[in-house]
Amino acid sequence: MNASVTEDLGTSSVTEFDVRDPDRSTQVKGFEGTIGENTLDNPKISTRNVNISYGEKQAIFDASLDIGRNEVIAMIGPSGCGKSTYLRALNRMNDTIVGCRVTGDLTIDGEPIYAHNMDPVLLRARVGMVFQKPNPFPKSIYDNIAYGPRIHGLTRTNAELDEVVVTSLQRAGLFEEVKDRLDAPGTGLSGGQQQRLCIARTIAVSPEVILMDEPCSALDPIATAIIEELIDELRANYTIVIVTHSMQQAARVSQRTAYFHLGKLIEVGETNQIFTNPRHELTENYITGKFG
Amino acid sequence: MQTTTLVIVIAGLSLISYYTGRTRAQAYRLDGRLLALPNQYGYLTAMWSALPAIILLLAWLAFEPGYLNDQVIANLPAAAQQLPTEELALLVNNVLLAVGNGGLSPDPVIEDAAAAYLAAREQSRMLVTGLILLLCLSGIIFSLTRYLTRLHARKRVETVIRWFLMLCSGVAIVTTVGIVLSVLFEAIRFFESVPILDFMFGTTWSPQTAIRADQVGSSGSFGAIPLFAGTMLISLIAMTIAVPVGLLTAIYLAEYASPRFRSAAKPTLEILAGIPTVVYGFFAALTVAPFIRDLGTSLGLSVASESALAAGIVMGVMIIPFVSSLSDDVITAVPQAMRDGSLALGATQSETIKQVIIPAALPGIVGGVLLAASRAIGETMIVVMAAGLAARLTANPLDAVTTVTVQIVTLLTGDQEFDSPKTLAAFALGLMLFVSTLLLNVVALHIVRKYREQYE
């Protein structure tokens, strides 16, 4: 990867976690470990004592969190709290950032994510990701969806591939809008359609987990509502981890919510409980809008 | 006064004009509303002082020699004025020589004329100096009037600057048009003696025309096909080397190389582009060509000592940096989001490069390749030194071929008359070469522009 990677990540944690700010991440007062139900029985993804740093600067401190099967878990917190960094550690997208180091036990279905024999390429096929800004490839709508199945050899015939493309588009709620112009360039769609195209593209490789990094922050309210509805439907088949700046969105789409603050996982719990009865002062301050 | 002194005087007076204009505007600003910043009033008055004076100075520099010449001729005796033009010019030249000697000459006629010349020169210089001072001072006086503060200074200054910028861009355009027209007219003269179809589709190139009517063996045959075929052959060899090497270099530098390696390798590659082509020429003629000939001989092939292959290989090396640098730029310009999107789908880095990055960057890469191709076609020095002179129509890279540029050089070097088809042929060749590289450039720029629109 080239040198500019760390500079123009756009959606990534580097912009959120300001590495130039010294000692920022050590200033959480009164933090004595995560409050709430951060562990689960039989989790899909389990993370224990995760520390992530970019060079000298630590972005995540000792976070332990389990992600259950077929649940939508929301990550909230003020800018620079490390939630995107944590998210990107789950499918090793941080590997592409020079100087990023992840330690701790991260497992998916009991398999260690950072083991030597875990191929990040195969891992990312299991743990897909949708980014903040829609990033369709400069190809046709059809080819955007077919890209993943083709490289993974998921289909043997063109008819099978057609079917995967159609089902993926249907699941992403985009099929009706684009069925007559599958050959049109994906970049020509509207922002909301592009984001659903990216979700369809992710679904097409049949992942088990979908990571969403502020998927609606570049979209208008109507497109956002459509995507939120979609997330709710996708829960039946996938585990979804969503990073969001919108607390309403977290409340609407998720079953559990994790609150990050300056690189520390402060509180985890049922979404209802977090928003109605937060146990930690920082969580309460954040959701009541005292900062963030 | 000398010209340099005049320039210094103009500069100094403009500076004074600037300060008076600014001070005046500042003073006015205290008790009234000003339409622009005081600085801009300073610039305006400085322009008022300098511009007319500079224009006058330039006009004087352009017309002074002609005017003085006329003065000298007018002061010559009537008998001398009746001389034929050439002799008169010689006489005037002698006068000028005498002027250079301080007006002394053994010939009283010339001495008189020199004295007249010096007097006229003195007079015109006084006049111009006076006028320039007047113009500059009028700027200063203008800066002191109340009228100044009612002007919108910024708009006026910007108008002048805009005209100046337009003039500068005009220089390039006018030069281009001038070159094209001069080549075009000479080429038309050539086509008056050689039919254009014979030139474009003839397969024999032998530009020796007879100087005497009875000369044998100099038929003068101007078929340009072998030259263009040679150019194409050498360019093709060059592109076969430059495109893969350059493109793969770009991919490595943009996608795989560590920042440290990249920061060292990129400038090194760009040094290749900075080597003078004549040095590449030595290298091709003295190192590569003999090497290829010896290698071919040891394999039992007959290789010309000035083979198309040698020139093509060296030219290919020369244009590698064009391809690699331009491709590297467009590959780096592909948004990181594309890479992330592909990697997040479980694509490997090589799949990402092959199926997402390269297709996204392809228009830019093609543009770079076409620019490199037009560079290869127009390249002269390497082929002059390393390719042959024999205009042979062949596709064998081991043969000696010649190119359009080589022929232009050989047609025009040395003492030549510019009225024989032989020399005029160079302009026709130049025109065709120009048109073909122009077409390539237009296509390349069009593709590059199309690419630019894609991510905006």
The pLDDT score that the predictor gives to residue B314 is 93
- Selecting from 1.20.1250.20, 2.60.120.1440, 1.10.3720.10, 3.50.50.60, what CATH number does the domain B205-454 have? 1.10.3720.10
Mutate to test the interface with B, among A87, A135, A165 (most CBs of B within 10 A): A135
Task: Give the residue from A228, A221, A148, A242 showing the smallest Cα distance to A196.
Answer: A228
- Domains of chain B, residue spans: 3-151, 205-454
- Inter-chain contact B341–A137, Cβ cutoff 8 Å? yes
For residue B33, is pLDDT > 70?
yes
DSSP symbols for B133-154:
HHHHHHHHHHHHSGGGGGS-HH
Q: What percent of chain A has pLDDT over 90?
A: 50
Q: Is the pLDDT higher at B135 or at B80? A: B135
Q: Which two tokens stand for residue B290?
A: 């003999």
Strand, helix or coil at A140?
strand
Amino acid at B148: L
pLDDT, tens digit (0-9, with 9 covering 90-100), for B63-86? 888 888 888 888 777 777 777 778
CB contact A106 to B (< 8 Å):
no
Residue B77's contacts (CB-CB under 8 Å, 6 or more residues apart) are B109
CB contact A184 to B (< 8 Å):
no
Strand, helix or coil at A41?
coil
Of A186-200, B96-110, B273-287, the poorest mean pLDDT is in: B96-110
Query: pLDDT band at residue A4, thresholds of 50, 70 and 90?
Result: very low
Q: Are B72 and B95 in contact (CB under 8 A)?
A: yes
CB contact A289 to B (< 8 Å):
no
Residues of chain B neighbouring A131 (CB-CB closer than 8 A): 337, 340-341, 344
The pLDDT score that the predictor gives to residue A6 is 40
Chain B closest-CA separation from residue A85 CA (Å):
14
- Between residues 426 and 455 of chain B, which touch chain A (CB distance below 8 Å)? 454
The pLDDT score that the predictor gives to residue B158 is 92
Size of interface A-B (CB pairs under 8 A): 94
Distance (Å) of CA A176 to CA A166, A171, A208, B153: 10, 11, 25, 61
Say how far apart CA B251 and CA B363 lie, in whole Å: 15
Question: Across the interface, which of B259, B336, B343 has its CB nearest the CB of A10?
Answer: B336
Q: What is the mean pLDDT of residues A84-99?
A: 90
Please name the residue ranges forming H helices in B194-255: 196-201, 225-251
Q: Which two tokens stand for residue A37?
A: 């139900």
Query: pLDDT band at residue B441, thresholds of 50, 70 and 90?
Result: confident
Cα four-point dihedral sign B167, B172, B176, B178: positive
Of B12-26, B157-171, B211-225, B429-443, the poorest mean pLDDT is in: B211-225
- Inter-chain contact A135–B332, Cβ cutoff 8 Å? no
Chain A closest-CA separation from residue B351 CA (Å):
8
pLDDT, tens digit (0-9, with 9 covering 90-100), for A121-157? 999 999 999 999 999 998 899 999 999 999 998 888 9
Query: pLDDT band at residue B252, thresholds of 50, 70 and 90?
Result: very high
| Smallest CA–CA distance from A145 into chain B, residue | B345
Amino acid at B157: V
Residues of chain B neighbouring A139 (CB-CB closer than 8 A): 359
pLDDT, tens digit (0-9, with 9 covering 90-100), for A228-253? 998 998 999 999 999 998 888 999 99
| Smallest CA–CA distance from A122 into chain B, residue | B346
Residues of chain A neighbouring B257 (CB-CB closer than 8 A): 2
| Smallest CA–CA distance from A123 into chain B, residue | B346
Distance (Å) of CA B388 to CA A87, A137, B122, B383, B451: 65, 49, 59, 8, 40
For residue B88, is pLDDT > 70?
yes
Greatest alpha-carbon pair distance for chain B in Å reads 99
Consecutive H or E run containing A76: strand A72-76
Q: Which two tokens stand for residue A199?
A: 């979700």
Q: Give the global pTM.
A: 0.74
CB contact B336 to A (< 8 Å):
yes
Q: What is the mean pLDDT of residues A1-6?
A: 41
The pLDDT score that the predictor gives to residue B217 is 54
- Inter-chain contact B345–A201, Cβ cutoff 8 Å? yes
Across chain A, mean pLDDT equals 85
pLDDT, tens digit (0-9, with 9 covering 90-100), for A155-212? 889 999 999 999 999 988 899 999 999 998 888 899 889 999 999 999 999 999 999 9
Query: pLDDT band at residue A1, thresholds of 50, 70 and 90?
Result: very low
- Inter-chain contact A202–B351, Cβ cutoff 8 Å? no
Chain B closest-CA separation from residue A104 CA (Å):
22
Task: Give the residue from A45, A49, A181, A192 showing the smallest Cα distance to A108.
Answer: A45
Question: Across the interface, which of A125, A135, A187 has its CB nearest the CB of B340?
Answer: A135
Say how far apart CA B387 and CA B307 lie, in whole Å: 6
For residue A9, is pLDDT > 50?
no
Query: pLDDT band at residue A288, thresholds of 50, 70 and 90?
Result: confident
Residue A26's contacts (CB-CB under 8 Å, 6 or more residues apart) are none
Give the number of other Cβ atoms within 10 Å of residue B214's Cβ: 5
Q: Are B160 and B51 in contact (CB under 8 A)?
A: yes
**CA A259 from centre of chain:** 15
Strand, helix or coil at A246?
coil
Look-up of token digits 């080239």: A2
CB contact B266 to A (< 8 Å):
no
- Inter-chain contact A3–B344, Cβ cutoff 8 Å? no
Say how far apart CA B120 and CA B117 lie, in whole Å: 5
- Inter-chain contact B344–A128, Cβ cutoff 8 Å? yes
The pLDDT score that the predictor gives to residue A30 is 60
CB contact A133 to B (< 8 Å):
yes
Chain B closest-CA separation from residue A132 CA (Å):
10
Chain A closest-CA separation from residue B267 CA (Å):
15
Question: Across the interface, which of A4, A10, A138 has its CB nearest the CB of B454?
Answer: A138
pLDDT, tens digit (0-9, with 9 covering 90-100), for B200-224? 888 888 877 655 556 555 567 788 8
Question: Across the interface, which of A2, A136, A202 has its CB nearest the CB of B255?
Answer: A2
Chain A closest-CA separation from residue B340 CA (Å):
8
For residue A17, is pLDDT > 50?
no
Residue B145's contacts (CB-CB under 8 Å, 6 or more residues apart) are none
The pLDDT score that the predictor gives to residue A292 is 55
Of B138-142, B206-210, B337-341, the poorest mean pLDDT is in: B206-210
- Inter-chain contact B339–A96, Cβ cutoff 8 Å? yes
pLDDT, tens digit (0-9, with 9 covering 90-100), for B153-188? 888 899 999 999 999 999 999 999 999 999 999 899
Distance (Å) of CA B393 to CA B42, B203, B277, B310, B406: 68, 7, 26, 17, 15
Distance (Å) of CA B119 to CA A187, A245, B122: 78, 87, 5
Q: What percent of chain B has pLDDT over 70?
A: 95
- Inter-chain contact A135–B338, Cβ cutoff 8 Å? yes
Chain B closest-CA separation from residue A61 CA (Å):
25
Give the number of other Cβ atoms within 10 Å of residue B203's Cβ: 12
Chain B closest-CA separation from residue A1 CA (Å):
4
For residue B341, is pLDDT > 70?
yes
Query: pLDDT band at residue A28, thresholds of 50, 70 and 90?
Result: low
Residues of chain A neighbouring B362 (CB-CB closer than 8 A): none
Distance (Å) of CA B169 to CA B158, B181, B218, B432, B441: 16, 19, 47, 26, 20
Residues of chain A neighbouring B336 (CB-CB closer than 8 A): 4-5, 8-10
Question: Across the interface, which of A2, A91, A136 has its CB nearest the CB of B332?
Answer: A2
Could you tell me the domains of chain A? Answer: 35-136+194-287 (3.40.50.300)
For residue A44, is pLDDT > 70?
yes
- Inter-chain contact A2–B359, Cβ cutoff 8 Å? no
CB contact B339 to A (< 8 Å):
yes
For residue B310, is pLDDT > 70?
yes
pLDDT, tens digit (0-9, with 9 covering 90-100), for B43-58? 888 888 888 899 999 9
For residue A217, is pLDDT > 90?
no
- What ipTM was predicted for this assembly? 0.82
Cα angle, residue A214 at apex, residues A210 and A215 outer, rounded to 5°: 65
The pLDDT score that the predictor gives to residue A11 is 39
